[in-house]
A and B are shown apart, each in its own frame.
Chain A
Amino acid sequence: MKTRSSKLVISLILILAASCNEPETTVTNIVHSDGSVTRRIEMRNQKRVFDKTAIQVPVDSTWTIKDSLEISSKGDTIWVRRAEKLFRNTDAINREYSSDSSANKNFSRRTEFTRKFRWFNTEYRFAEIIEKKLKHGYPVNDFLNKEELKWFYLPGNIKDKKKMSADSLKYRAFNDTVDKKCEKWEIRSLVSEWIYEFAALAGKREKGEITVESLKTHEDEFVKFIESDNLKLDSLWTTNVMLGKLIGEKAALKYRHEADSAGSIVVNHFFVDFKEYTVRTIMPGKITSTNGIVDSSGMSVWPVKSDFFLTQTYEMWAGSKSSNLWAWIISFLFLIFVFTGLIIKRKRAG
């Protein structure tokens, strides 16, 4: 297992370098009542050329693309590319995702749409889903409480605003608490994923000797190793001290290669090169429920960051309702009919 800190530094450098090329992208899904979706993508870039390998979502020649230029109040030139396409249904969007060649092609994404007829109203639900990267990680909900989860999923600019507001001390302290808990979550998930990968690889060599259950009993120990002394971690690993304490010295020598391979697999899953963007959804009728941020124009908004789908599927959903006017009219006429009948009956009987 490579040193977490050096990999982290390298990955951060790569992410920073890559993020200089990626445009600021906002994907807007305008969902229509028949299930069709108009997808609009706005990309804002510091450069004129939009590097196809840096674009976060699939866009190709079948889209209607318009380029423009804007000057900010600071005098910076921003090139803006707006692309639009009408998809007949969510299956069409999913087909585009399955043949994705964008910067985030390695991530499994899909959309879902349901419509339920409820006589007076029709209920709609649209979701954009990103599958999790680590199969055996822990859900972040196990480490953060309700308030902390809200903060975790908040867009970066709103967090920054709160940290510079009148209650900046409170929010900064809160942010630090959430960061520390997130670090614990990430380490524990990394270890859990490594355990399963290592057990699977060791099982191929000799079944029964190294099992998930036996490794899980040492999980806390493993996590403490990583959390306590990061500097010595590399030497503890390369000299088999750490692995020896977990599975015994003999087994550590025997399964050294599998342990290293499991580590590489986990690190590749963990340190992902994901280009962030923002998703917005406009639903038919009135929006009634969502797990995103509702902005002042009534749209649901979600930031899309790799942390959000590290150990759990990230589902960005919104629900809405629209009235079925014809059902209202029929029901009203029916009620009038019955009421009139009752009045006539009363009069006749009287």
Chain B
Amino acid sequence: METEKDNYGKIVELLRRSRPVIRGNEELTGEVIQRLSTGRRGHFPIYTWIESIYGWIYIPWVRRSLVSISVIIAALFIYQQSVLVRQIKNINRQAIVTEGGVPVSHDSVPPLELYRASGLIFSGKDISISETDLRQLIREYINVKGRYTNLVKIIDENPELKKYVEQKLNEKNSYKSEH
């Protein structure tokens, strides 16, 4: 009887010392929390939907992998954009401003002709002009044209004025031809 009691006592002591080992603490915690929260909120479809999409947050390796990928994407973006900004800055520093924007390999042509040859005509991009500005431009052109016609009439009607204007034009032309 005493031996049996002793054995029983030893067995109980042994069982007390060897505690059970619980594996998967994190998953278990997550599962419990999930069930509790589902229980609290009730069974609304949107929560189920969110839970299914964000189920990965409870799986450590998936969570860590996605965070790593996000960090890599962010780093790649910052690197690419900084390289691009630096390259554009370098290019802008190199830019040479030329007459009309077209440095040709022969003698320089007056800016008006270069403007005709470059820029808008050869640009690969579309340009948009305001309709109001265009109408204003046309109105101003008609205005200037009308004033010019009136000026020519006034000069023609006044012989002294005509003579004076012709004299000045001749002086200008002779100066141009000399230089």
Contact = CB atoms under 8 A, between A and B. Distances in A.
Interface string B3-32: 000000000000000000000000000100
Contacts of B73: 331, 334-335
B108 A294 contact: no
Interface in A308-341: 321, 331, 334-335, 338-341
A30 B124 contact: yes
Given A80-B117, A295-B95, A296-B101, 12 more contacts: A26-B104, A38-B124, A155-B104, A157-B105, A158-B98, A280-B122, A293-B96, A294-B96, A296-B96, A299-B101, A331-B77, A334-B73
Interface in A256-314: 276-278, 280, 282, 286-290, 293-299, 301, 303-305
Given A70-B113, A156-B106, A344 B70 contact: no
6 contacts: A70-B116, A120-B76, A289-B90, A293-B94, A296-B96, A331-B73
Given A287-B91, A341-B63, A335 B117 contact: no
B80 interface: yes
Name the residue among B84, B106, B118 with the largest chain A CB count within 10 angstroms: B106
Contacts of B70: 334-335, 338-339
B110 interface: yes
Contacts of A289: 87, 90-91
Contacts of A121: 80, 84
Counting chain B residues whose Cβ lies within 8 A of the other chain, the interface size class is 35 or more
B134 to A, nearest CB: 22
Interface in B112-129: 112-113, 116-119, 122-124
A78 interface: yes
A293 B103 contact: yes
Nearest to B29: A349
B110 A73 contact: yes
Interface of A: 24, 26, 28, 30, 32, 38, 40, 42, 44, 70, 72-74, 78, 80, 118-121, 155-158, 160-161, 276-278, 280, 282, 286-290, 293-299, 301, 303-305, 321, 331, 334-335, 338-342, 344-345, 348
Contact of B57 (A26, A161, A344): A344
B7 to A, nearest CB: 46
B91 A278 contact: no
B12 to A, nearest CB: 38
B117 A297 contact: no
Nearest to B96: A293
B164 interface: no
A155 B105 contact: yes
B57 A342 contact: yes
Contacts of B63: 341-342, 345
B64 to A, nearest CB: 11
Contacts of A288: 84, 87-88, 91
Interface of B: 30, 33, 37, 50, 54, 56-58, 63, 66-67, 69-70, 73-74, 76-77, 80-81, 84, 87-88, 90-92, 94-98, 101-110, 112-113, 116-119, 122-124
Given A72-B110, A280-B122, A338-B70, A297 B57 contact: no
Given A70-B116, A278-B105, A335-B70, A158 B96 contact: yes
B74 to A, nearest CB: 7
Name the residue among B37, B73, B87, B122 with the largest chain A CB count within 10 angstroms: B122
A119 B33 CA distance: 39
Contacts of A161: 108
Contacts of B80: 118, 120-121
Contacts of B107: 157, 160
A118 B30 CA distance: 39
Contacts of B92: 294
